[in-house]
Structure 1
Amino acid sequence: MTEAQRSTTNAYWPSVFIGAYGGVILQIIAASWGGPIDLSELWLAPVLVLVYGMLAVPFVAFGLVLFGLTVSAVIHRWAQDWWVGPFAALWGGVAGKLMFYGIDHLMFFGYYDLLQISLSDMGIFYGVPTGIAWWVLRRRELACS
């Protein structure tokens, strides 16, 4: 395995898990935003994070392969530049929206609007943490190699 492949592997799975579980946590926060929280149901939050995170992992993994690795290959020479971080967050949000749009139209009822951004935007919840985690972890791996 080459050094580049090893650094990609070392950053890939942690980024996927950070994106999947970070997305679930952001989704729970957004769902309870502004409304009263029933403390008797608070025990359910860790269970929801665990179960929904496990369900999100394959989709986040596929999205990172489809959108993250391809763009990383294109901008590899600038990986250590400061602007790649904000770009990774922005591209993660766009990629998350595209992935959730596909998931919604293939598996659910197709109500997700690609052009609308709202407080409860599922694609952005999963895409932004994944993009930021990928950038941070990949940058660290490249710096160590």
Structure 2
Amino acid sequence: MSAAAVPHGPTRPPFPVSVAAFVSSFDRFAISPLVVLVAHDLGATLAEALTIASAYFLAYGISQPVWGVLSDRLGRVRLMKATLLAAAVAGMVATFAPNLTILVIARGLSGAFYGAIVPTSMTYVGDTVAEAHRQPALTDLMAAIAVGTASATA
């Protein structure tokens, strides 16, 4: 193959994009092992504490079409930066939530903001990585997501 036929550009997802996908998956699955402890800490029933995860997962899923449209308009990297910042703020509010209501709202907002990361990072890889390298790059990104999921449950 001649040098002219070799595609130029990245062959892997950028490290910050992989880290963002890892953090998004970690955050999504970190609450499940903690629900019983949170219920005890806040004096709530287990059913009440489960609303934390429900709010998160519902907001995560419902928000994704919105993020898809916004990533086209604002740019993928800009959107990921903004939603990661917003998710960090919501996470801080959740960390210091004085009651279950504030915690559910903060976790719901975290879910909505983190809902932008995985699909946007996958689209970003599809947009920026040459076709010849796209599948391995997506595999690397999915590995970061899987490690985030496994780490959160551990």
Bigger radius of gyration = 2
Structure 1 or 2: larger helix share? 2
- What TM-score comes out, normalization by structure 2 length? 0.34
TM-score (norm 1): 0.36
